Structure 1
C-alpha cells in the first residue's frame, strides 16, 4: 500500500511541473520545484505513517475519526468521489470519505493557484502541516453549505464571505481571469479569487462570496423602475469592462492560460491554437467537427461575417442567473455582482450581445430581453447570421 502511495505522490509532482510547462515550455519552474522541495519529504513521511497506522489502529477507530463534524443526509454530486455510505453499523445516510481513510491522512493534491491567507486561516493550515492540505480542504468543504448544485459541479459556502466552486475538470482560466479583472478593472463587481487546488480530477476554486439572490429569481416580481435601475447598473459595469481593448499582438480569447478562444453553446468548443485576428476567429466559428455543411455553403456564410469589429473584453454569459442583486438601504434593488467568468476574454464587440441572447428561445416571452444593457446592443445582423450558422453549419 505504501508503494502505491509513493507512486501516486511522484505522479502528482510530475503533473504539477507538466501543468506549468503546458502553458509555456520556456517557463521558470523554480517556484514549483521549491514548493515540491518544501513539502515532498513531509508527504512521503505521512504516507509511511498512514501505512503504520493501518497496521496498528483498528478499522473501527479509523472509521470514527473520518466522519465529518457536520453530517448531512446527502452531498452535492460534485463531491461524490469523496463520500460513500458507511457499510458497518452506521445509519445508511451517514457519509464519509472514500475508502474509509482517516481525515488525518493526507490525500494527494496539487496547488494550481496559491491559497490566500483568508483560506489558509479558514482551513487552520500552517506551514508545518502543508501535507494535510487536502484533508483540511475536504473537511471544510464537506461541512459547508451548498448554495448551488449542478450535475457535476457545486458552489459551497465554507466561511462567512468565502465560497468554493467544486467541479470535475474545472477550467482553470476562471481563476486567472478573476485575478486579471482585479488588477485591470477593480471596480467590476466580480468575485475575488482566493486560490485553487486539485485533488485528483476534482478542482476546488476558492473565492469571495457575492451576497444576495440571483436576478433570475427576483426579476419576475420587480417593478418597471427597479428593472430599469438594474439595467443602468449593468450598463455601467459592462461599459467599464469594454474599455479594455486587446493589447497589440495579443491573441483573442482568454487573457490567461493558453490564451484560446471559447464558444459555449450546447457544448463548449475551444480553439486548438491561439487566434490573432477576426478573420481567424470567423474561421473558428465555422470549423465545427459536427458540421455537415459543404465547403461552398460555409464560404457563403463566411462572406456575411464582418472582420473589422473592435475587440473588447467580454463576459460572454450575461444572463439573470449570473447576476446577483441585493435590497439596498432604502428598499431599492442594487447590483451586488456578476458571476461565472469561465468563458470571458477578448472577443469582437458583438460577442456580448450574441452570447446574452444565446439562451433565448422562440417561446420565451420574458421582458428581460428588452432590458439588456445598451452598451452591448446594436449587433442584430451579427446575431441573426450566427443563428443561421448554429442551425446549419455547427450542429
Structure 2
C-alpha cells in the first residue's frame, strides 16, 4: 500500500552527490524563476526546484511513480526538504529537449515513433490501480491540485480529496457557486450546473493523470544507437512537471491536454493527442464551459 513519505526525504539508493542548500542558492544556471520560486540546473545530473511556491505533492508524485508505476518515465526524486519556509526538490535532470522545440522539424515517421512511446506511457497510467478505494485527489492523498478546485471560499487551499465521482462533481459545482456568491452574481447558472452537470460527468473511474500534457512537458532524448535505413531518428520520451498529477476521472487528462490548443487546431499536435490520450468529447465540452467561468 502506498503511503506518502515523511519530510525530510532522501533517496537511499546510490545517486549522484547532492548539492548543499548553499550551493543550490548560489547556482546561476537558472531555467525558470518567479518572485517566490526558482528552478536551477546544478550539473548534468541534477536539477532543483525550490522556493515558497513549490509543492510537496509534486515530490510525492515522483516517488509514487518510481515505486509503483516504474514503467512511466519520469524524473527521479533524490531529496525533498524544507529550509525555513522554502521547499527544495532535488531531482534527476533529464537530458534532451522539450518536444515543442523540435516537433515541427520531425518527419512523419519520427512523429509516429514518439506517439507510439506516448501510447505505451499513457496506457500504463490508465492501468495503474488507485491505492485508495474510489478516491479522487492528489497522489499525496490530499486535495485536488487543479485551479478549478482552488477554494473560492477564501481559505486558500485546494478542495478535496473526494470519495466517489458524484462528490468530485459536487465539489466542482460547489466551488463555482462559492465564486458566484462571493461576487454577488445571480445564481441561475450555478443552479443549472447543480441540476445537469452530474448527468454528463458520471461513470468515470479514478485514473492516474499527469494533468498538464503539453509539448513543453515532454522531454525528447535522441537514441543515437537506433535509426532506420532512411536515417530517421528514434527518441526516448520522458514526462516532466508532475505538480498537477493525481487520481482524476478518466476524462480529465484530455480536458487538460486540450486546454492549450482550443484555438490551435491548425497544428497537427492537436490531432495527434487523441492517439495516446482517451477522448471524451461531451465531457470536454462541458468542462470548457466550467473553465471559462471558474478558471484563472
Q: Counterpart in 1 of 2:271?
A: 370
Unpaired runs of at least 5, structure 1: 1-23, 25-30, 33-110, 124-135
Q: 2:222 aligns with which of 317, 324, 327?
A: 327
Count of aligned residue pairs for this structure pair: 275
Q: Counterpart in 2 of 1:296?
A: 191
Answering whether residue 237 of structure 2 is matched by residue 350 of structure 1, we say no
Answering whether residue 198 of structure 2 is matched by residue 311 of structure 1, we say no
Answering whether residue 161 of structure 2 is matched by residue 274 of structure 1, we say yes
Instruction: Kindly indicate whether the alpha-carbon contact (under 8 Å) linking 2:138 and 2:144 is maintained by their aligned counterparts in 1.
Output: yes
Residues 313-337 of structure 1: CA deviation (Å, up to 9, x unaligned): 1111111010000222135141331
Residues 129-178 of structure 1: CA deviation (Å, up to 9, x unaligned): xxxxxxx3122441352234455433212133111112323110111111
Unpaired runs of at least 5, structure 2: 152-156
After TM superposition, the score normalised by the length of structure 1 is: 0.63
Give the secondary-structure state (helix, strand or coil) at the position aligned to 1:259. Answer: coil
Computing the radius of gyration from Cα coordinates, the structure with the larger value is: 1
Residue 254 (structure 1) shift:
1.3
CA–CA separation in structure 2 for the residues paired with 1:197 and 1:248: 26
CA–CA separation in structure 1 for the residues paired with 2:203 and 2:59: 30
Instruction: Kindly indicate whether the alpha-carbon contact (under 8 Å) linking 1:353 and 1:376 is maintained by their aligned counterparts in 2.
Output: yes
Q: Counterpart in 2 of 1:339?
A: 240
Residues 106-138 of structure 1: CA deviation (Å, up to 9, x unaligned): xxxxx5323657678333xxxxxxxxxxxx312
CA–CA separation in structure 1 for the residues paired with 2:88 and 2:103: 31
Structure 2 CA distance for partners of 1:154 and 1:221, relative to 1, 3 Å:
farther
Q: Counterpart in 2 of 1:235?
A: 119
Give the secondary-structure state (helix, strand or coil) at the position aligned to 2:163. Answer: coil
Tell me which of the two structures has the higher relative contact order, counting C-alpha pairs closer than 8 angstroms and 6 or more residues apart.
2
Q: Counterpart in 2 of 1:226?
A: 110
Instruction: Report the RMSD for the aligned CA atoms in angstroms.
Output: 2.9
After TM superposition, the score normalised by the length of structure 2 is: 0.82
Residue 268 (structure 1) shift:
4.8
CA–CA separation in structure 1 for the residues paired with 2:241 and 2:150: 15
